[in-house]
A and B are shown apart, each in its own frame.
Chain A
Amino acid sequence: MTLERFFRRRPPQQKENMANDDLPDLWSKCPKCNAQVYNKELEQNLRVCPKCGYHHRIPVKRRIEGLLDMGSFQVTSGKVKAKDPLEFVDTDTYVAKLERARKKTGRESAVYAGRGTLAGLPVVVCVMDFEFAGGSMGSSEGEEITRAIELASQEDRSMILVTASGGARMMEGALSLMQMAKTTFALEQLADKGLPYITILADPTTGGVAASFAAIGDIVIGEPDALIGFAGQRVIEQTVRQSLPDGFQRSEFYEKKGFIDMVVDRRQHRETLANLIAALRNQAKPEVTALEIKVPEPPRTGLFGRRK
């Protein structure tokens, strides 16, 4: 321990007023292959590591920019906010937790949705935001998803739902559980109108979200290496008292087991969805233009991605 500490390289001391401080965060390190990736390149790849294909989590707005025709998206969510029906308190109050999630994301729920076009095809896109309380589904999330599906039915649009959620939200008790049924009922209206419903399961999609609308897309797409399943891995390990096999409950695993139609790299989602939707609606094969990904201004931080 002491030896290790002795030989450990000391982090270079950051001096005040270093000239480099003005340099933006240009590179970041891929957690999987350790490659130094130029941030601009990472953004152009929709946060997929260009070296090894590792899928970083992607902010919901960026995901939608990467899917829809530029400038076509109109947000329709943001109409409801969570209450605290159970007056839930554990180590902290639910109200305080909600407040933190709102501050962190600038949104009222873990759902971001709206209408737009994808290669000219009219769609509603609904994305769950893992940043908001782990993407968990409470009453307001269930309501936003239900309304997004209803909007698609009303306006004859295909429905795309991207899931990233730990499951039903504990802090709203059985009310959260009921959202699984509520959203499924809405999907029936969509089905009655013959409108496609495609789900993209991002990391992670588990619990009550996996076991309701995520699993029953007309077509179910998994993002590479996304964790998917009903029970969490810790719960399973405690139940069966053995460690889990490698790759268990990942997208590729469920593709092999016959539960996911395909695993698709995020950079191909736009083209794949356009082709699938056009085929399901028996329309001409659409022209899919590559997207020019707008790269946001990087935050001012130290050199080599070291944050101050």
Chain B
Amino acid sequence: MPALEFEKPIADLETRIEELKAYGSSSNVDMTEELALLEKRLERLRSETYDKLTRWQRVQLARAPGRPTALDYIGKVFTDYQELHGDRAYGEDAAIVGGLARLDGQAVVIIGQQKGRDTKENIARNFGMAHPEGFRKAMRLMDLADKFGLPLITLVDTPGAYPGIAAEERGQAWLIAQSIQKMTRLRIPVISVVIGEGGSGGALAIAVGNRVLILENAVYSVISPESCAAIVWRDAKEAAKAAEALRLTAKDLAEFDIVDEIIPEPKGGAHNDPAGSSDELKKALLKHLAQMHGMDKPALLASRAERFRKLGVFEEIA
């Protein structure tokens, strides 16, 4: 796993420990004491790094190479995943995946924004940036879930909806709006989880859930730090500053009730322990599904509407 810039000291120390271990066993010199010391130091370094990440570092973690993608979680958290393709109108958009699966035996419909795991796959998946047909595909999967009364799980991970000529021509704004609208009408339990990057309208289009959860190192924002910096400081390199200003971390979002729960990630982030992270996600999904168990259709609709009605911070004028 290539380490992120701020993870390098940790990676370096890990390498040194490995080297020392190898030296110890090959040369029969007792290194136990030294090793224990170094392990302790590694632990401290890890805590120092991951316990007080800056917002910009979180953004980097949210985008880290090797961070589990939607399909990775689908494979680890669910069973019997059957992917369904196409929007039944225009085409197939690989930036959004979805289909039927089982969560601890319960049949569910999943929709996920899918980034590539390497350059080649990223190109095929358009870096997780959907075109209108992707949102149309998501909408028809929502209809499927609604028709059969199956819970819907959406996994959010996109830099945003694709800002290209063809996307605009095919009505990007309309499809995002329609997808949001579709979600306001669903009479099923809907859980949305931001697993990596929640990029603006493209993220919200599939994130209007009864519950909106977020992984500890995921981010969710109205605009990417780079775009914000480009607008404000006319320089995308000021992204770190923009990330601070935008308050886009899980903790920030929880403060404003934009998310209902932060799902913890193993120390070092999900990319360092995909299995551990999947376990946490599964636990959270099961818990929230159980909480909604037995709610009738009007109650599911009403509670979702109520959840979003309260969002916003403003002052009442007397």
Question: For the side of the interface on B, what is the size category?
Answer: 35 or more
Indicate whether B37 reaches chain A with its CB closer than 8 angstroms.
no
Whether, in the assembled complex, B314 has its beta carbon less than 8 Å from a beta carbon of chain A, the answer is yes
A230 interface residue per 8 A CB criterion: yes
The interface centre, meaning the residue of A81, A89, A184, A249 with most chain B CB atoms within 10 A of its CB, is A184
A229 touches B168 (CB 8 A): yes
Q: Which B residues from 277 to 318 make CB contacts under 8 A with A?
A: 304-305, 308-309, 311-317
Chain A 134-152 against B: per-residue CB contact (8 Å), 1 yes, 0 no?
0000111011001000000
Q: Which of B3-11, B27-35, B56-64, B246-254 contacts A (4 or more CB under 8 A)?
A: B246-254
How many A-B pairs with Cβ below 8 Å? Answer: 194
A179, CB-defined interface residue at 8 Å = yes
CA gap between A188 and B223 in the complex, in Å: 27
| The stretch of A39-47, A234-242, A274-282, A283-291 that contacts the partner chain | A234-242
A178/B172 contact (C-beta < 8 A), A173-B248, A212-B177 known: no
- CB-CB under 8 A for A248 and B168, given A86-B245, A177-B200: yes
Distance in Å: Cβ of B80 to nearest Cβ of chain A: 31
How far apart are the CA atoms of A235 and B202 in the complex, in Å?
Answer: 15
- Residues from chain A with a CB closer than 8 A to the CB of B163 are 230-232, 235-236, 239
**Distance in angstroms between the alpha carbons of A140 and B167 in the assembled complex:** 30
Asked if A215 meets B173 with Cβ closer than 8 Å, knowing A86-B247, A176-B222, the reply is: yes
Q: Are A175 and B256 in contact (CB under 8 A)?
A: yes
* Contact, CB under 8 Å: A174 / B314: no
Instruction: Determine the distance from Cα of A155 to Cα of B170 in the docked complex, in whole angstroms.
Output: 36
A82 touching B315, Cβ below 8 Å: yes
Q: State which of A143, A214, A257 has its C-beta within 8 Å of the C-beta of B314.
A: A143
- Please measure, in the bound complex, the distance between the C-alpha atom of A170 and the C-alpha atom of B198, giving whole angstroms: 15
CA gap between A108 and B317 in the complex, in Å: 9
Answer yes or no: B171 CB below 8 A from chain A CBs: yes
Check B272 for interface membership: any CB of A closer than 8 A: no
In the bound complex, CA of A213 to CA of B308 (Å): 15
In the assembled complex, the Cα of A179 lies from the Cα of B208 at a distance in Å of 11
| A183 vs chain B, min Cβ distance (A) | 9
Contact check, A230 vs B161: say whether CB atoms are below 8 A apart.
yes
Contacts of A139 in B (CB 8 A): 311-314
How far is A229 from B162 in the complex, measured between Cα atoms in Å?
12
Interface presence of A222 (CB below 8 A): no
**8 Å CB contact of A210 from B173, B184, B221, B314:** B173
Residues of chain A contacted by B78 (CB below 8 angstroms): none
Q: Which of these, A185, A242, A257, contacts B309 with CB under 8 Å?
A: A185
B85 within 8 A of A: no
Contacts of A78 in B (CB 8 A): 317
Residues of B within 8 A of A168 (CB): 200-201, 222-223
Residues of chain A with a CB closer than 8 A to B73's CB: none
Q: Does B54 count as interface, using CB distance less than 8 angstroms?
A: no
A residues contacting B by CB (< 8 A) are 78-83, 85-86, 88-91, 108, 138-140, 142-143, 146, 168-170, 172-182, 184-188, 206-208, 210-216, 228-232, 235-236, 239-240, 242, 244-245, 248-249, 254, 257-259
- Contacts A/B (CB < 8 Å), 25 sampled: A81-B314, A81-B317, A83-B315, A85-B313, A90-B242, A170-B223, A170-B228, A174-B220, A174-B253, A175-B258, A179-B312, A180-B180, A181-B180, A181-B208, A188-B185, A188-B305, A211-B172, A216-B181, A228-B173, A230-B163, A230-B176, A236-B163, A239-B162, A248-B165, A259-B171
Told that A216-B178, A231-B167 touch, could you supply 11 new A-B pairs with CB distance under 8 A? A170-B246, A172-B313, A173-B222, A173-B252, A180-B201, A185-B184, A185-B304, A207-B201, A212-B177, A230-B167, A236-B168
